[in-house]
Chains A and B, each alone.
Chain A
Amino acid sequence: SQKIEQNSEALNIQEGKTATLTCNYTNYSPAYLQWYRQDPGRGPVFLLLIRENEKEKRKERLKVTFDTTLKQSLFHITASQPADSATYLCALEVSGGYNKLIFGAGTRLAVHP
């Protein structure tokens, strides 16, 4: 069955450093992959989408890579700030239409001053 894995352990980094989060998937060939941010008690907020034919996507301090051979996406936040502290979710499109997504469990990022 389709499976998405994100590091369940929290990632603690120092302010100003680059945070790198990993999303791995198996038994799957998604047309695109998305990253969302979720704060406690809130709904997710869309950050970036990367398609299977794209290797890298950037938006301000965010960068996403997509390696369909390794079945892995990396999510980078450069010059991290305490305000970046949140849970980051990886989501993959489910084939079959209607833009259905399946989500990973998320990785909690804590940026310390």
Chain B
Amino acid sequence: GAVVSQHPSRVICKSGTSVKIECRSLDFQATTMFWYRQFPKQSLMLMATSNEGSKATYEQGVEKDKFLINHASLTLSTLTVTSAHPEDSSFYICSAAGGAAEQFFGPGTRLTVL
């Protein structure tokens, strides 16, 4: 299957700082990228959908000013958690789709906010 990478895999930051997570599709052009958050033993919760060159569409309850998404190219999307707080600590996962129904997921980023 297609390969999607995420960087960093793990990040620890102080409360109030901003953290940027990169998601790259390595061997295909992703028309759409998705950002999910997963708390321990819970399901993946979709945060937002982004298409290259346009503004991201956020799910209900997700603050767009706190979770900034940039989809600059067909192979790169970034999620910036601004002014992070301990409750933002979670496992953030991106996925990419190339037009077909299946999504290819990155390995995830473990964010810990102290």
Binding site for B on A (CB under 8 A): 32, 34, 36, 41-46, 49, 89, 93, 98-106
Structural contact, A99 and B101, CB atoms closer than 8 A? yes
Residues of A near B57 (CB, < 8 A) are 98
- A43-B93, A43-B105 are known; give 14 further A-B pairs, CB within 8 A: A32-B101, A41-B108, A42-B107, A44-B95, A44-B105, A98-B49, A99-B97, A99-B100, A100-B46, A101-B103, A103-B43, A104-B43, A105-B42, A105-B43
Residues of A near B34 (CB, < 8 A) are 100-101
A105 to B39, CA, bound (A): 11
Residues of A near B106 (CB, < 8 A) are 43
- Chain A residue, CB-CB nearest to B109: A43
Binding site for A on B (CB under 8 A): 1, 4, 6, 32, 34, 41-44, 46, 49, 51, 57, 91, 93, 95, 97, 100-108, 110
Residues of B near A44 (CB, < 8 A) are 44, 93, 95, 105
A41 to B1, CA, bound (A): 20
| A34 contact from B4, B46, B101, Cβ within 8 A | B101
- Which A-B residue pairs are the 9 nearest by beta carbons? A43-B105, A105-B43, A103-B44, A46-B102, A103-B43, A43-B108, A43-B93, A44-B105, A43-B107
- Chain A residue, CB-CB nearest to B6: A43
Structural contact, B46 and A101, CB atoms closer than 8 A? yes
Residues of A near B93 (CB, < 8 A) are 43-44
